[in-house]
């Protein structure tokens, strides 16, 4: 019997963006997502349009508002492009809602049944940090393309995938002094456990500092690191996010691959911008992580970061922000030998170059 709220995995991540049609093209051409479903004026919606894209188990919805008073438009006006919904796949959306609300979650919408010729789904939603929400998706009785209300989207343009497989973790940035409160929300309301804790003594450089706690459900398919800013010599990167997102929100989604060399090569070829990693990083990395199977020259050429823990090692790389504001970005991660951690050893290497990029040297 599981102690945490039973969750099968990430159902989808929904982004509210300024222009869903163009964003969809970016996710197809740059990241190799495949077209799946569509909803908008043609399907009877008046205030929004949504493109649904898929790559292996990862589903993204890109939604834009059509009218100035649309909830999507007002969200995007305040926050810029970003993640609005982290949807969780459950066996019972009504029970998930009732259990979490009874433990203190704030409702976003009550359980609702939606159906079409392909079956029925049950959806419910609760609020989490900032204006972000969790939708509980129960679709075991549905055989359609995506969800009721969506039609199949099947254009001729289908660039090849880039080897991305599933959502590994989703990081939230919250305000000063809010990390414990948000971590407690996941522990008390969802029954999550805390995996790892590190504080500003661990992740403090000349340029930035943060504190982070990682909460996860029992089957570890849902892992949410929660960051808050910490005092550094310069403004914290987390604080900068909060200033530009206008409050707490999802900082990055980590997408898993089992062949990071192939994936990063494909993404770079298609114009995805990654964090600058100095060559000096590779001078000491073997000392820090020991021997690994991959060719170090190839990792250095692609600027892939390496870290390890007691179980194994992980290869990772972070994109630059994928919209105009210095807010949301992606991580590509390849875990080897059952590595469970999140790349703490790379934060020192990460933040200095990231900061250089962010202050506009163009690296």
- Name the residues that contact Fe ion, by CB under 5 A: 254, 331
Residue number with CB closer to Fe ion (123 or 306): 306
CB of 342 to Fe ion, least distance (A): 5
How long, in residues, is the chain? 363
* Minimal distance, residue 319 CB to Fe ion, in Å: 12
| Residue with smaller CB distance to Fe ion, 96 or 341 | 341
Angle between helices 237-245 and 347-356 (to 10 degrees): 50
Give burial (CB, 10 Å; 0-12/13-18/19+) of 270: middle
How many Å is the maximal CA-CA distance in the chain? 60
At residue 126, the 3 state secondary structure works out as strand
DSSP H helices, 130-289, are 179-190, 237-245, 260-269, 281-289
Q: What angle do CA 37, 216, 3 make, to 5 degrees?
A: 105
CA distance 347 to 341: 12
Query: Nearest approach, Cβ of 160 to Fe ion (angstroms)?
Result: 25
Minimal distance, residue 333 CB to Fe ion, in Å? 7
What minimum distance in Å lies between the beta carbon of 360 and Fe ion?
24
Nearest distance from residue 94's CB to Fe ion, in Å? 32
CB of 17 to Fe ion, least distance (A): 22
Q: Name the residue nearer to Fe ion (CB basis): 133 or 254.
A: 254
Going by C-alpha positions, the residue among 342, 362, 345 that lies closest to residue 353 is: 362
Q: Are 33 and 55 in contact (CB under 8 A)?
A: yes
CA distance 280 to 290: 17
Q: Shortest gap between Cβ of 228 and Fe ion (angstroms)?
A: 15
Place of tokens 């004026």: 41
Helix H or strand E segment including 214 = strand 210-216
Neighbours of 327 (CB within 10 A): 25
| Cα first-last separation, the chain | 50
Please identify, using beta-carbon distances, which residue of 146 and 347 lies nearer to Fe ion.
347
Q: Mapping DSSP to helix (H, G, I), strand (E, B) and coil, where does residue 195 land?
A: strand
CA-wise closest residue to 267 among 198, 178, 336, 329: 329
Q: In 3D, which of 75, 84, 193 has the Cα closest to residue 134?
A: 84
Instruction: Decide the pairing of beta strands 210-216 and 223-229.
Output: antiparallel
Instruction: Please count the CA atoms within 13 angstroms of the CA of 65 that sit on its side-chain side.
Output: 15
Q: Cβ 216 to Fe ion, closest distance in Å? A: 13
Minimum CB distance to Fe ion smaller for 99 or for 200: 200
Considering the complex, what minimum distance in angstroms separates the CB of residue 316 from Fe ion?
A: 7
């Amino acid at each position: 019997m599981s102690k945490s709220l039973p969750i099968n995995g990430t159902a989808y991540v929904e982004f509210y963006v300024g222009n869903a049609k163009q964003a969809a093209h970016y996710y197809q051409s740059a990241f190799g997502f495949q077209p799946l479903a569509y909803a908008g004026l043609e399907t009877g919606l008046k205030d929004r349009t949504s493109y649904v894209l898929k790559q292996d188990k990862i589903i993204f919805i890109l939604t834009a508002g059509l009218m100035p008073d649309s909830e999507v438009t007002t969200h995007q006006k305040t926050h810029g492009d970003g993640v609005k919904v982290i949807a969780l796949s459950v066996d019972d959306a009504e029970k998930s809602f009732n259990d979490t609300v009874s433990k203190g979650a704030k409702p976003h919408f009550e359980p609702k049944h939606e159906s079409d010729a392909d079956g029925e789904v049950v959806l419910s939603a609760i609020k989490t940090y900032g204006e972000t929400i969790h939708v509980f998706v129960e679709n075991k009785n549905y055989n359609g393309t995506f969800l009721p209300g969506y039609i199949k989207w099947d254009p001729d343009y289908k660039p090849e995938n880039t080897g991305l497989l599933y959502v590994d973790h989703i990081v939230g940035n919250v305000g000063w002094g809010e990390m414990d409160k948000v971590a407690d929300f996941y522990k008390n309301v969802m029954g999550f456990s805390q995996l790892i804790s590190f504080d500003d003594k661990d992740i403090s450089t000349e340029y930035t500092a943060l504190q982070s706690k990682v909460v996860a459900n029992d089957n570890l398919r849902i892992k949410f690191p929660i960051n808050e800013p910490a005092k550094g010599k310069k403004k914290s990167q987390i604080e900068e996010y909060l200033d530009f997102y206008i409050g707490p929100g999802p900082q990055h989604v980590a997408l898993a691959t089992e062949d990071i060399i192939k994936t990063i090569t494909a993404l770079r070829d298609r114009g995805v911008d990654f964090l600058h990693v100095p060559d000096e990083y590779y001078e000491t990395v073997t000392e820090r992580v020991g021997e690994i199977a991959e060719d170090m020259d190839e990792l250095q050429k692609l600027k892939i970061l390496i870290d390890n823990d007691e179980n194994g090692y992980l290869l990772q790389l972070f994109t630059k922000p994928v919209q105009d504001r210095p807010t949301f970005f992606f991580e590509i991660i390849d875990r080897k030998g059952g590595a469970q951690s999140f790349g703490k050893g790379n934060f020192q290497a990460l933040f200095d170059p990231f900061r250089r990029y962010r202050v506009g040297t163009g690296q």
